[in-house]
């Protein structure tokens, strides 16, 4: 697919806006060379930047390419991840953020040390780094490069290198403040660009008779793609196991992802105040409700249009290649790059935060200066991106990369979610039980997978969470030696009280909308 002059101008304008804004903010940020400024934006982010930045970090090639591929393969049921995420963001805003902000928590490993002990902080800091680099960064780089290769014929390795370099330019200079402020622009591009692709796809389905007609025809031609609950006979049941895909392990994955995941929660930790952070998450929750329109419907449209592709993850690039007219290619390409780069930047920044604060400063350079800590973050960012770039092309044999990400993240979600939920809400949970929970985090889901290889991974997550939680509770109840130490954990008085009517009313509308959606598409 070739760019016209108009396409090049639009895409070039996008690049100039992002690079210009990022450079200007970086210059301002670098006047203060301290870690709070670099990693947490000096706690200056308002609600709309927090919400935009959370969505920009969350929506990437995983969704545009990977979730569209899952939409092609299984239909609207994959939207469960997005729609239920809106509820999970509200839960995190109500029950997690007040604890983190009132306790002045900066990183998730830091919370685990303050709640339990230093062993748990260290092992999970190392573990998160491996997860960020070898699962998150590699998969996003691969999916983004796959889109560039399919649509524009760019060599996969060159595409990976280009995305990595662009992300580093945004990340290394000014840290979170640069990322979060440019994310407002990135979100605007990715939403408008995504809506444009959906509009074109549905209009193509209707042969030019409009998107409403196109949507009706898709429901008529592929009714099996418009059910949230898959029957056991469906070949994708292993990914979305019927009613359990709504009531089961997906809640474990979501609470972990939005409540205990550094590269998501770090945006809220950089907010001006708890109120701004909570409003930011409810804003992100509302944006979550429209994401399936951007990323799932195009995949279903590609299915209805009988896309000649070899695997589902090629559905979105196929649409861009076949149906986007000259003059819009540059805009939609900018939207896709915005989604990819903003997520990469968020993960790079958070991974470098954990390395600098939880590993380097805690274990190797206790007396490191503030400027030294910032430089450590910058150097570690470059090293991690190089490692992820070298590994990204190894994902070429995977059929649905979005499902790969969910399944392998799901191996760690149950144990870490148990640590956080019991740690926050049950005062007696002690460090000994937490340590055992850490040791069981990988073995339990792996053993369940070995014994029941056909068990859907969402069910595996739910069962693993219950087993690990039960073991932690049992150890705590019978381990009298640690009760005295655990009693030192106290939640701030009235920590969950919320008198912000704006937050309460806007948050209350989310369940109502979801109820309507699930009634319509049951």
Q: Read off the pLDDT band of 25 (50, 70, 90).
A: confident
Buried b (16+ CB within 10 A) or exposed e, 154-163: eebeebbbbb
Lowest mean pLDDT among 30-34, 107-111, 140-144, 509-513: 30-34
In angstroms, the CA 56 to CA 51 distance is 9
Q: Would you tell me how many other CB atoms lie within 10 Å of the CB of residue 403?
A: 24
pLDDT at 31 over 70: no
Report in angstroms the alpha-carbon separations of 355 from 98, 131, 247, 427, 475: 25, 13, 35, 29, 31
Q: Which two tokens stand for residue 77?
A: 């049921």
Answer yes or no: are the C-beta atoms of 312 and 73 closer than 8 Å. yes
Q: What is the pLDDT of residue 367?
A: 81
pLDDT (tens digit per residue) in 408-459:
667 788 999 999 999 999 988 999 999 999 999 989 999 999 999 888 888 9
Residue 118's CB: how many other CB atoms inside 10 A?
14
What pLDDT, on a 0 to 100 scale, did the predictor assign at position 484?
41
Q: How remote is the C-alpha of 166 from its chain's centroid? A: 19
pLDDT attached to residue 62: 67
Contact indicator for 510, 289 with CB cutoff of 8 Å: yes
**Domain limits, the chain:** 5-410+492-520
Q: Which residues pair with 45 in a beta bridge?
A: 271
Q: Give one word for 227, left, alpha or beta, with left for phi > 0 and alpha for psi -120 to 50.
A: beta
Q: What is the pLDDT of residue 92?
A: 95
Contact in structure between 173 and 30 (CB atoms under 8 Å)? yes
DSSP state of 494: T
Q: Tokens 């950089």 belong to which residue?
A: 270
Instruction: Give residues with Cβ within 8 angstroms of 108, minimum separation 6.
Output: 124, 128, 260, 261, 262, 265, 354
Q: How far is the C-alpha of 434 from the C-alpha of 304, rounded, in Å? A: 49
Phi and psi at residue 45, in whole multiples of 5°?
-80, 130
- Give the whole-angstrom CA distance, residue 202 versus residue 186: 24
Q: Phi and psi at residue 271, in whole multiples of 5°?
A: -70, 160
Asked if pLDDT for residue 402 goes beyond 70, the answer is: no
Residue 116: CB atoms within 10 A of its CB come to: 26
Greatest mean pLDDT among 69-73, 395-399, 469-473 lies in 469-473
Mean pLDDT of the residues in the chain: 85
Q: How far is CA 515 from the centre of its chain?
A: 24
Q: Rounding to the nearest 10 degrees, give the CA dihedral for residues 301, 306, 311, 316.
A: -30
Directed axis angle between helix 431-440 and helix 413-425, to 10°?
Answer: 170
Q: What's the pLDDT score for residue 481?
A: 61
Whole-number Å distance between alpha carbons of 37 and 417: 29
- Which two three-digit tokens encode residue 145? 């490069």
Q: Can you give the pTM of this predicted structure? A: 0.91
- What lies within 8 Å, CB to CB, of 297 at 6+ separation is 71, 198, 201, 202, 215, 218
Q: What is the mean pLDDT of residues 157-168?
A: 87
Dist CA 200 CA 478 (whole Å) = 62
Tokens 């809506």 — which residue? 195
Task: Give residue-wise pLDDT tens across range 272-300.
Answer: 999 999 999 999 999 999 999 998 999 99
Digit-coded pLDDT (tens) for 209-242: 889 999 999 999 999 899 888 888 888 888 888 8
CB 346 within 8 A of CB 171: no
pLDDT at 197 over 70: yes
Q: Which CATH superfamily is domain 5-410+492-520 in?
A: Sodium/glucose cotransporter (1.20.1730.10)
For a pLDDT cut of 90, what percent of the chain falls above it?
Answer: 39
Do 353 and 262 contact (CB within 8 A), yes or no? yes
């Amino acid at each position: 697919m070739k760019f016209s002059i108009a396409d090049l101008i639009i895409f070039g304008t996008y690049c100039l806006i992002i690079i210009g804004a990022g450079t200007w903010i970086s210059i301002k940020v670098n006047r203060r060379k301290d870690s709070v400024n670099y990693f947490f934006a000096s706690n200056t982010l308002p609600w709309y930047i927090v919400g935009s930045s959370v969505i920009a970090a969350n929506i990437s090639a995983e969704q545009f390419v990977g979730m569209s591929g899952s939409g092609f393969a299984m239909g609207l049921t994959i939207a469960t991840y997005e729609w239920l995420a809106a509820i999970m963001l509200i839960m995190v805003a109500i029950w997690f953020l007040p604890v983190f902000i009132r306790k002045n928590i900066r990183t998730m490993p830091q919370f685990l040390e303050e709640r339990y002990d230093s062993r748990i902080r260290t092992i999970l800091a190392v573990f998160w780094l491996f997860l960020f680099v070898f699962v998150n960064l590699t998969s996003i780089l691969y999916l983004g490069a796959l889109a560039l290769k399919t649509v524009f014929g760019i060599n996969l390795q060159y595409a990976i290198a280009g995305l990595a370099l662009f992300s580093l330019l945004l990340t290394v200079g000014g840290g979170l403040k640069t990322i979060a402020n440019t994310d407002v622009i990135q979100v605007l591009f990715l939403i408008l660009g995504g809506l444009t692709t959906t509009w074109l796809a549905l209009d193509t389905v209707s042969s030019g008779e409009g998107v409403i007609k196109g949507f009706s025809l898709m429901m008529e031609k592929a009714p099996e793609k418009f059910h949230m609950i898959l029957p056991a006979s469906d070949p994708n049941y292993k990914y979305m196991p019927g009613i359990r895909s709504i009531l089961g392990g997906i809640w474990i994955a979501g609470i972990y992802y939005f409540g205990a995941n550094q590269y998501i929660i770090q945006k809220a930790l950089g907010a001006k105040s708890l109120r701004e952070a909570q409003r930011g998450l409810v804003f992100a929750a509302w944006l979550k409700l429209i994401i399936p329109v951007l990323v799932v419907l195009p995949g279903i449209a590609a299915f209805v249009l009988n896309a000649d592709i070899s695997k589902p993850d090629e559905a979105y690039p196929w649409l861009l290649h076949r149906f986007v007219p000259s003059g819009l290619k540059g805009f939609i390409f900018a939207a896709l790059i915005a989604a990819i780069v903003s997520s990469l930047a968020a993960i790079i920044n958070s991974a470098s935060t954990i390395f600098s604060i939880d590993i380097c400063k805690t274990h190797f350079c206790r007396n490191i200066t503030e400027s030294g800590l910032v430089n450590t973050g910058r150097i570690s960012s470059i090293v991690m991106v190089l490692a992820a770039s070298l590994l990204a092309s190894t994902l070429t044999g995977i059929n649905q990369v979005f499902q790969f990400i969910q399944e392998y993240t799901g191996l760690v979600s149950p144990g870490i979610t148990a640590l956080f939920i019991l740690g926050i809400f049950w005062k007696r949970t002690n460090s000994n039980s937490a340590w055992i929970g850490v040791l069981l985090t990988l073995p339990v889901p792996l053993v369940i997978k070995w014994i029941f290889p056909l068990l859907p991974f969402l069910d595996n997550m739910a069962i693993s969470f219950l087993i690990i939680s039960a073991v932690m509770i049992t150890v705590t109840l019978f381990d009298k030696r640690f009760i005295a130490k655990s009693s030192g954990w106290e939640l701030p008085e009235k920590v969950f009280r919320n008198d912000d009517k704006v937050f309460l009313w806007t948050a209350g509308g989310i369940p109502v909308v979801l109820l309507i959606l699930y009634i319509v598409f049951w």
